[in-house]
Amino acid sequence: MRAIWLREFGGPEVLVLGAAPDPTPGPGQVLIDVAHANITFVETQLRSGRPGPFRVTPPLILGNGVGGVITAVGPDVDPALIGQRVVSATGGSGGYAERAAVDASVPIVVPAGLALDEAVALLADGRTATMLIEAVGVRAGDRVLVEAAAGGVGSLLVQLAARAGARVIGAAGGPRKVELLPGLGAALAVDYLRPEWADRVRAAVGGVDVVLDGVGGSMALAAFELLAPGGRMVSFGLASGDWSPVSAETAAARGVTLVRPDVPPARLRAYTEQALADAAAGRLRPLIGQRFPLERAADAHAAIEARATVGKTLLDVA
What is the percent of the chain where pLDDT is above 90? Answer: 93
SS3 annotation, the chain: CEEEEECCCCCHHHEEEEECCCCCCCCCEEEEEEEEEECCHHHHHHHHCCCCCCCCCCCEECCCEEEEEEEEECCCCCHHHCCCEEEEECCCCCCCECEEEEECCCCEECCCCCCHHHHHHHHCHHHHHHHHHHHHCCCCCCEEEECCCCEHHHHHHHHHHHHCCCEEEEEECCHHHHCCHHHHCCCEEEECCCCCHHHHHHHHHCCEEEEEECCCHHHHHHHHHCEEEEEEEEECCCCCCCCCCCCHHHHHHCCCEECCCCCCHHHHHHHHHHHHHHHHCCCCCCCEEEEEEHHHHHHHHHHHHCCCCCEEEEEECC
pLDDT above 90 for 51: no
Query: Is the domain of 36 the same as that of 157?
Result: no
Q: How many domains does the chain have?
A: 2
Does 184 map to a domain? yes
Which residue, 220, 237, 258, sits at the end of a domain?
A: 258
In a 13 Å sphere around the CA of 3, the CA atoms on its Cβ side amount to: 21
Indicate which CATH number applies to the domain containing 66.
3.90.180.10
d(CA 121, CA 288): 7
Euclidean distance between the first and final Cα of the chain, in Å?
12
Which amino acid is present at 155?
S
Q: Is the residue at 270 inside a domain?
A: no
From 258, 274, 302, give the residue that closes a domain: 258
136 and 91, same structural domain? no
Range in 7-16, 62-71, 172-181, 241-250 with the lowest mean pLDDT = 241-250
Q: Are strands 108-109 and 85-89 parallel, antiparallel or unpaired?
A: antiparallel
User: d(Cα 297, Cα 16) in Å, to the nearest integer?
Assistant: 8
* Domain shared by 30 and 81, yes or no: yes
Q: Is the pLDDT of residue 149 over 80?
A: yes
Same-domain check for residues 225 and 141: yes
Distance CA 192, CA 273 (A): 32
pTM for this one? 0.96
Q: Is the same domain home to 94 and 136? A: no
195 pLDDT tier (thresholds 50, 70, 90): very high
> Is 189 a domain residue?
yes
- Same domain? For 104 and 199 the reply is no
Look at residue 264 and tell me if it is in a domain: no
Domain that holds residue 298: 2-109+287-316
Does the structure show a pLDDT above 80 at 122?
yes
Are residue 60 and residue 151 in the same domain, yes or no?
no
12 belongs to a structural domain:
yes
Q: Is residue 63 part of a domain?
A: yes
Closest by CA to 318, choosing from 109, 130, 71, is 71
Mind listing the pLDDT tens digit for each residue in 228-282?
999 999 999 888 878 999 999 999 999 999 999 989 988 999 999 999 999 999 9
- In percent, how much of the chain has pLDDT > 70? 99
Inside any domain, residue 155? yes
CATH number of the domain that residue 234 is part of: 3.40.50.720
Residue 53 confidence class, pLDDT cut points 50, 70, 90: low
Same domain, 103 and 135: no
Instruction: Kindly state whether residues 7 and 96 are assigned to the same domain.
Output: yes
Question: What's the average model confidence in pLDDT over 202-219?
Answer: 97
Do 129 and 213 fall within a single domain?
yes
225 and 295 both lie in a single domain: no
115 assigned to some structural domain: no
Q: Are both 141 and 34 inside the same structural domain?
A: no
